[in-house]
Amino acid sequence: MQLALYRYSLPFRQPLMFKRERLANREGLLVSINGQWGEIAPLPGFSTETLAEAEAESLACLAALSRGEIVSPTLPSVQFGFDCVQRSWPLNLPEPLPPYPLLQGAPAALIQSLSTTDWQASLPSRLKLKVARHAMEEELALIEQLAARLPTTKLILDANGGWTREDAQRFCERLPLKQIDYLEEPCAAFADTIAVAEATGVAIALDETLSRREEWYCHPQLKALVIKPTLIGSLSDCEALVQRARAGNLRVVVSSSFESDLGLVQLARLASEWAPDEPPGLDTGHWLAGRVTNLAGEVMTENVHCLSKMENLA
């Protein structure tokens, strides 16, 4: 058994903010077992573990595997990477649907870019916008512009739990609800999110609630589960959420956590398997100014830092 762990660092095209943390590079790990790969990339501000903690657990797991032991990682990003690297991927999956575009940045700059963006060639059916990051009036003005310029496009809004119940309600009362597909996690507490949905009629989706493994229940205003495997962890836990979504007639959206091109390809395959009719939330790759794989999909090991190489000694 050939075992290896590598570390990568890819620059963002421009620094991005993650929960008030400014990042210029995306850093993560690539684990290899007998030529199959997995990605381990905790997202600062969202993952509970640090990259250093993920690296330590990954090295310990590989050492245990080299001794012929069975490993059970405990950190979500490590669980995801090791599950992918040891997975028997289904054959003949349908071609993944193209992801919907993600808009991120200051509202004024985005409004200015709207005038130069040629959407007319192919209007997106859905568009995702991060909210609860700038002044409410500016974000509402941007949404008004988007709704006017893209009348057939449904808007997905993602607040990352950034509002109080009162602020979320004030925001939602001024939304063009007919054009809003759903609002992800307006508040940090599920009870507050439900209260906002009931008060305003906005459709909602859950994201952080799932990765934090908090209690939730189906509600008429709950439309979708946004599943981020890097943050949730084991693929079996993700699959349990997919089954629960199907039982509750909820949409499933497989979403990224700014993984490298390797991770995005694997997430697209999971989206094809779990939600073949739902465009995934995987439009993050263009924020990265580098790749870890070549055009054939092979990891360019010469461009990443080798942390460990070992063989099964058992």
Asked whether 188 and 160 are in contact (CB, 8 A), the reply is no
Regarding whether 275 and 150 lie in a shared domain, the answer is: yes
* pLDDT, mean over the chain: 93
pLDDT digits (tens, 9 = 90+) for 291-310: 999 999 999 999 999 999 98
Asked whether 256 and 263 are in contact (CB, 8 A), the reply is yes
Give the count of beta carbons closer than 10 Å to the beta carbon of residue 97.
17
Regarding whether 138 and 251 lie in a shared domain, the answer is: yes
Between 109 and 195, name the one with better pLDDT.
195
Regarding whether 12 and 120 lie in a shared domain, the answer is: no
In a domain, residue 176? The reply is yes
Active-site residue, 19 included: no
Straight-line distance from the first to the last Cα atom of the chain, in angstroms, rounded to the nearest whole number: 10
Asked whether 312 and 3 are in contact (CB, 8 A), the reply is yes
Q: 0.75 cut: is pTM over it?
A: yes
Give the neighbor-by-neighbor strand order of the sheet with 305-311.
36-40, 21-33, 2-18, 305-311
Active site residue: 128, 130, 178, 309, which one? Answer: 130
Residue positions forming the annotated binding site for Mg(2+): 158, 184, 207
Active site residue: 128, 178, 228, 309, which one? Answer: 228
Regarding whether 82 and 139 lie in a shared domain, the answer is: no
Residue positions forming the annotated binding site: 158, 184, 207
pLDDT of 121: 63
Active-site residue, 130 included: yes
Q: Is the dihedral of CA 284, 289, 295, 297 positive or negative?
A: negative
Range of the domain at 297: 2-91+290-311
pLDDT digits (tens, 9 = 90+) for 156-184: 999 999 999 999 999 999 999 999 999 99
What pLDDT band is residue 114 in, cutting at 50, 70 and 90?
A: confident
In whole angstroms, how far apart are CA 278 and each of 78, 89, 152, 183, 294?
A: 26, 20, 17, 16, 27
Across residues 203-223, what is the average pLDDT? 97
Regarding whether 268 and 179 lie in a shared domain, the answer is: yes
Asked whether 268 and 256 are in contact (CB, 8 A), the reply is no
In a domain, residue 83? The reply is yes
